[in-house]
Structure 1
Amino acid sequence: MFSFQHASSSPQPAAPRSFQRVSVNMTGRLMLANHEEYPCVAVEMSPGDVIMSCAGIPNLGERVIAYIDHLGRLEGQALSIDTTSFVMSITATDRKREKLAAQLTWLANRHELGLPEDRRHDRLTPRVTRAELALEDGRRFACRLVDLSLSGAAIDVEMRPDIGTPVTLNGLRGRVVRHFAEGVAIEFASVQTRESLRSFL
């Protein structure tokens, strides 16, 4: 199974080639130093850097801020540039880099893990990522959406119920089907609609 090496203890930008990149193909928006904004696509990413495809190309060394769907805010500098893409470093604390590594590991292992989201049900972009996971015994846990589709969700949560455990996510019934680096994958009891997921969208 794919996994990233541990991040170093330094809060500085990761050294180039410190991590293995994985293909992600995630859309977002980025802002250059002159405050111009452009739609972008993160093509390949590691916890240390990301290849961005974008109409707006920064200068070498220029500070860039990007907001990538499912991953959130990334900040760094342009390490190398091409006519339609560039490599951007990712400046992050150890904690954020570890979380990013967990998210990327989950994405890289999606098919091997057999997570509930698949090609039948397109991924959705949640605007609200804070959620609540409830167990049948009444216990409730704050969690964060990592990924969402009509058939299931992946959540970042400290307490991991056993596989097969019935749960509700913001009132939506489902069961735990997999564990991954920082949380669990949930398969909904029935395929949802965008309307039933409106609290996230």
Structure 2
Amino acid sequence: MSHAASPAISRAGLLAARVADRRRHHRVAIALLGRYMLADRREYPCQTVDISPGGVRLVCAVPGEIGERVVIYLEHLGRLEGTISRILPDGFAVALSATPHKREKIASQLTWLANRASLGLPEDRRHERVVPRQSAVTLRLDDGSEVPARLIDVSLSGAALACDLPLPVDSPLLIGRTACRVVRQFKGGLAVEFRLPLSPDRFDENLVL
């Protein structure tokens, strides 16, 4: 008798665990910019629709396949890994793989982001943008030439540089070892977007690109 009942008990227990997991991982509707890498190492830009420590929904152009491993880099949160769980009309959903400690860090950061948005607080510039101690850099262009420049400030997703050479928008280049592209020109300089957002773990005035 007990053997016959055990599968039903197991299924009921599994369902209860999933419901508890969904409740524990409260989703936050917030738009964070980032990039993702599919299993074949192709990379594309994305934006979050909502996110919890257990999963994230992305708006993106290339959806991948259900069950495919994906690596995501998001502003404020850094590197996340998981498996595509659902394909959506404008993107896909990912079940995140993370240690309990990593999930706690994600939950804390999401709480901060949600509170900042609900209270209408300004961006925290200490976390959003830094002025590196080592500001002199060399830009390596696609044709192999090098151009001296100076970092004005850096965010997780890009940088502003003082540079005498006006580079066309969308020009690919390297700042040190960091791949990026020109997204805007201004008088005496330019703004670039990093190919992959920087990790928050190394984001301070001692940052070297």
Do structure 1's residue 48 and structure 2's residue 68 form an aligned pair? no
Aligned mates of 1:26, 1:116 — CA distance in 2: 16
The aligned counterpart of 1:150 is none
The C-alpha deviation readout for 1:33-68, integer Å capped at 9, x for no partner, is 111110000110011100011111010111010000
The aligned counterpart of 2:76 is 70
| Paired letter, 1:80 | R
Do structure 1's residue 59 and structure 2's residue 65 form an aligned pair? yes
> How far 1:24 sits from its partner (Å)?
1.6
The aligned counterpart of 1:110 is 116
Q: Retained in 2: the 8 A contact 1:18–1:48?
A: no
The C-alpha deviation readout for 1:118-158, integer Å capped at 9, x for no partner, is 8xx8x845698xxxxxxxxxxxxxxxxxx9xxxxxxxxxxx
Residues matched between the structures, number: 118
Output aligned runs, 1:1-201, within 5 Å.
15=21, 18-111=24-117, 115-117=121-123, 124=128, 199=205
Change in Cα spacing, 1:29 to 1:114, as seen in structure 2 (3 Å) is: closer
> How far 1:17 sits from its partner (Å)?
5.9
> How far 1:116 sits from its partner (Å)?
4.9
> How far 1:20 sits from its partner (Å)?
1.6
Structure with larger Rg: 2
Divergent runs of 4+, >2 A = 14-18, 111-118, 123-128, 198-201
Task: Give the superposed CA RMSD.
Answer: 3.3
The C-alpha deviation readout for 1:76-116, integer Å capped at 9, x for no partner, is 00111113211101111111100100000111111556745
Equivalent position SS for 2:29 = strand
The aligned counterpart of 2:197 is none
Aligned mates of 1:65, 1:59 — CA distance in 2: 14
Change in Cα spacing, 1:124 to 1:36, as seen in structure 2 (3 Å) is: same
The aligned counterpart of 2:195 is none
Equivalent position SS for 1:109 = helix
| Paired letter, 1:52 | L
Aligned mates of 2:98, 2:78 — CA distance in 1: 12
Aligned mates of 2:69, 2:28 — CA distance in 1: 23
TM-score by length of 2: 0.48
| Paired letter, 1:36 | R
Larger relative helix fraction:
2
